[in-house]
Structures are given as C-alpha cells and as structure tokens.
Amino acid sequence: MGSYTLQDLNLAGVKWELTETPAKPDIKRAPVQQNFQTNQPCENKPVIVPASAPITLETVKSMVERPIDTDSLVRMICEFNHPLRSGATNPVKPNIANNPNGLLIITDLPSADDDLSGNILSGNAGEMTDKMLNAIEMSRENVSVVPLLFWRTPGGRTPLREELDLARPFVDKLIEMLNPRIIITFGTLATTEIAKTKLTETHGQEIKDENGRIIVPLYHPNYLILKPSAKKDVWVALQNIQKLLKNS
C-alpha cells in the first residue's frame, strides 16, 4: 500500500486493520509494578468484574461513579474486564498530566506500540505528538492524553460499536475529572465520537460541545508521518489553540 490508499489509511488515525483474526504474537507482558503510578504500565491482573458476569453499559456507568480521583479511575480501567482485554498484551493507560494547563487530547485507538508499552501514543506517533506539543511550549507534563479505547483491537481492526460504548463512560468520567478548557481530537474516529463531526470538514476549527468546551479536531500524528505536507495546517491550528489557552 505504498500509495497510501483508503484515504491515507483513513487519515492514519483509525481503521488501519490488516486482518480480523491475526495470530497473537508471542510477546511478554510489560513488567508488573509494585506501586501504582499513573505513568507506569497497568498490571494485567485479575479483573474487577468476574468473567462470567454480564457487562452492560449500565454496569459500567455505575462503576465509574465510584472513583474519587484520576488515579483510582485509571486503576479501575486497568482492571476492567472489557471484551478486548483478553486479546490485548496490556491495557493502555491514559496520560494524566501532573501540571494540567487546561488542554486535553482525545486520540484514536491504541497502536501496536501502545499495546506493548501500556501507554498511549508510544513509538513514532508519540514522538510526533511530543514535537507538536513542544512547538507550542507544552508537553505531556501539562497536557493529558486519553484514548477512546484502552485496549488494542485484534490486528488494529475497527472497533465494534459495543466495544466503544463500554469504554465511553471511562472517557467521559476522565473528561469530567480533568475539566479541560479545550479538547483536541486526534484522528477520524475521535473527531466523530467526541466532536460529532467529520475530520476532513472541520480540521482546525473550533467546535463547542454541550458543556461549552472548545473542541478542535486535528489530524492524527500518524497522518503527519505519512503526509508531512499536512504539518503546516496542524501548525496553524496549534498556534490558535495556544492563543485560546492564553486568552481563556
């Protein structure tokens, strides 16, 4: 796929599956941490909901009301028996900024690198993300990053509606706890789910959600790796976001 068909892998942020049922690689899990730290990989240990118990959306909504802080909520995510958990190498944790500046990134699905490390936006996409943030004098120290799903789908396939819905209460609760002034959506699926718009039509534009927050859809970092010419549009949007944060 040297010419990058399928609309450049759907803007390189989602729907990048190669097969529905790939063979699972023989990969060791990330090392178990003795003390929970937000920026360390999750422990892939016994789940909070028994495997035999039916998992419903109402069950998840009830669960997410219990945690009183982001650390507790991330622990719950790590232990949750999501349908994708059994096929994932590691749960993929959100990045919770230690010194938040009011900006939150919600990104598309975990990559193979994220699955291995247990952290969102790893590998080349992570390096591009860091360059984007550094360009406007920011970093993951003050910008949180939350994925739509906390487990990689088999082969990176498109997630089922049920898989997205069962993870969404965790995403919504993190947004509530972090209370950002501006949300950036990385990629096609994140823009559709969070901003309820098409990325190709609203890239770089300011969209207000029902809570009055500003949402700015941006191309996924993987798309910028495939199409460096798109960096100019992203740079303009990032500068506008920087100004919005300073003026809000």
pTM across the whole model: 0.82
How far apart, in whole angstroms, are the C-alpha atoms of residue 230 and residue 238? 13
How far apart, in whole angstroms, are the C-alpha atoms of residue 241 and residue 50? 43
- CB count within 10 Å of CB 40 equals 16
pLDDT of residue 11: 55
Strand partners, 208: 214
What topology is assigned to 55-247 in CATH? Uracil-DNA Glycosylase, subunit E (3.40.470)
Q: DSSP secondary-structure letter at 239?
A: H
- Spatial neighbors of 229 by CB under 8 A, at least 6 apart, are none
pLDDT of residue 103: 97
Q: What are the residue ranges spanned by the domains of the chain?
A: 55-247
Q: What is the pLDDT along the chain (248 residues), one digit of tens a residue?
A: 455 544 544 555 545 443 344 444 444 444 433 333 455 667 655 444 444 456 899 999 999 999 999 999 999 999 999 999 999 999 999 999 999 999 999 999 999 999 999 999 999 999 999 999 999 999 999 999 999 999 999 999 999 999 999 999 999 999 999 999 999 999 999 999 999 999 999 999 999 988 889 999 999 999 999 999 999 999 999 999 999 998 87
How far apart, in whole angstroms, are the C-alpha atoms of residue 59 and residue 167? 12
Asked if 99 and 141 count as a contact pair (C-beta separation under 8 A), the reply is: yes
